[in-house]
Amino acid sequence: MTMLRVTDVVGGYGASEDILKGPSIGVAAGEIVTIIGPNGAGKSTLLKAIAGLVDLKAGRIEFDDVDVTREDALGRARAGISFVPQERNVFGALNVAENLSISAFLSPHQEARRCDDIYARYPMLHGKRHALARTLSGGQRKILAVAMGLMTNPHLMLLDEPTAGLSPMAAEELFAAIILLNRSGLPILMVEQHALEALSISNRGYVLVAGRVHAEGTGEELSSDPSIRRLFLGG
């Protein structure tokens, strides 16, 4: 079952040249799908468009067989799409518990139960619940950002460069957390700079170049394709 269908989307920021020039992608139930490509290809813009943060001039976005193209970011969140941005994804002046609390905006009456679920899933956050988010390590902040995204009880999670700025060990731990999250039943669409590592845990992937889909296939197909490796994966 395809949960997310993005068809021929065109758009960008303001009156500037369109960054997205008609890419079409999909995410099925239970999948991890990764978008890779060179800098400036429009990968993060595509995620933001799906999250309702970029206005589209053309194209269609369907989620759970409902057309959400005209929904704003709040409407997309209510539909079940959670977006975790690369930067500014936690509130540094608030503690962990407060970050989780404000992320339960869709259903504040369920905040306590969802916090309990988060602490059970990520015991580190329970131990740090009174610590200011700015005092956490890079890897801990990323886990907190993911946890904040889970507070809306999403049906799809969008992750923009989740391992950016992390040490190799912290990145490996975060990839392991993404796998476990997916195994719990949550489909994931992510943009990731560590392309080989991301494709290795992905069911499928897309290569985006200059705002268009250049190639698509299983994670294994893309990571083993000689031309893809040479052009986008470092050899």
10: left (phi over 0), alpha (psi -120 to 50) or beta: beta
pLDDT value at position 117?
A: 96
Burial environment of residue 62 by CB neighbours within 10 A (0 to 12, 13 to 18, 19 or more) = middle
* Structural domain boundaries in the chain: 2-232
pLDDT value at position 228?
A: 86
Given a contact cutoff of 8 angstroms between Cβ atoms, the answer to whether 68 and 79 are in contact is yes
3-state SS, the chain, equals CEEEEEEEEEECCCCCCCCEECCCEEEECCCEEEEECCCCCCHHHHHHHHHCCCCEEEEEEEECCEECCCCCHHHHHHHCEEEECCCCCCCCCCEHHHHHHHCCCCCHHHHHHHHHHHHHHCHHHHHCCCCEHHHCCHHHHHHHHHHHHHCCCCCEEEEECCCCCCCHHHHHHHHHHHHHHHHCCCCEEEECCCHHHHHHCCCEEEEEECCEEEEEEEHHHHHHCHHHHHHHCCC
Q: In this model, does residue 109 exceed pLDDT 70? A: yes
Listed as own residue / partner, the contacts of 226-231 with beta carbons closer than 8 Å and 24 or more positions apart are none
Dihedral in degrees, nearest 10, Cα atoms 176, 181, 183, 188:
-100
pLDDT value at position 52?
A: 96
Confidence of residue 91 (pLDDT cuts 50, 70, 90): very high
pLDDT digits (tens, 9 = 90+) for 161-210: 999 989 999 999 999 999 999 999 999 999 998 889 999 999 999 999 99
- The stretch 105-112 carries a mean pLDDT of 91
What is the CATH code of the structural domain delimited by 2-232? 3.40.50.300
Q: In this model, does residue 157 exceed pLDDT 90? A: yes
Query: What mean pLDDT, rounded, does the chain reach?
Result: 94
